[in-house]
Structure 1
């Protein structure tokens, strides 16, 4: 069973707009993220728990079957070119991370068909926690 996820009204509005504009070639990514959003608890940005991964959060996480941890900032696709330290919300791991809290684990499907687990170790930076609601 998948853990509960929480997203802000601001993130939901922005992601919905982004999904509406995606080309048909990205239908699989759109559908996967839409499915995640459909099961989310939605809160006002100022009510967001401080340990939840939101858009533009910097998160440290582990992947099953891999050694070590990764530290990435969850971004919109247009922001992905801003460095190696970003992960798109449209990628399988990015859509899996969105809305999880520290300590949560979820399985996601890698593009090659393998099922992997992702675990949120720490939310290092969260815009809402810092009072940055309109980034």
Structure 2
């Protein structure tokens, strides 16, 4: 997973995600280390500085898995909303891969079984920060 694209996250998302990771650290959940690495390498800005084309928590995003051209439209959510129709948890590999990417960016990401996939952001259909909601 070399040549990772630059990512940006809000300080609020970072704070909430760090709290979640601290709460589940001892549960030995797969892929938490990958999420931690993403948070560590992210540019962190205030929620009011988030561009509208960026995937943040609670954003509805359209993305493509490039090898298969499978197209997805999902909302990136915290674990408490995981399992709702049309959502993907930040604790899943694809969820942590999406966070902080902008329209047009791609990322190579390892999924269960060790396979690498390439995801490309096609559109951010709904983003709380773009709607002036800085506390979701």
- CA distance in 2 between counterparts of 1:81 and 1:105 reads 25
What residue number does 2:49 align with?
47
Contact 1:22 1:30 in 2 (8 A): no
- CA distance in 2 between counterparts of 1:19 and 1:65 reads 31
What residue number does 2:134 align with?
133
TM-score normalized with structure 2 length: 0.94
- CA distance in 1 between counterparts of 2:30 and 2:16 reads 19
- CA distance in 1 between counterparts of 2:70 and 2:24 reads 33
Partner SS, residue 44 of structure 2: strand
- CA distance in 2 between counterparts of 1:132 and 1:12 reads 16
Aligned residue pair count = 134
Unaligned runs of 5+ in 1: none
Contact 1:54 1:99 in 2 (8 A): yes
Q: Over aligned residues, Cα RMSD in angstroms?
A: 1.1
Q: Within 5 A, what are the aligned runs for 1:6-45?
A: 6-45=8-47
Tell me: CA distance 1:23–1:37, structure 2 relative to 1, closer, same or farther (3 Å).
closer
Q: CA deviation at 1:25?
A: 3.6
What residue number does 1:121 align with?
122
Q: Within 5 A, what are the aligned runs for 1:53-132?
A: 53-83=55-85, 85-132=86-133
- CA distance in 1 between counterparts of 2:83 and 2:42 reads 28
Q: CA deviation at 1:133?
A: 1.0
Q: CA deviation at 1:64?
A: 2.6
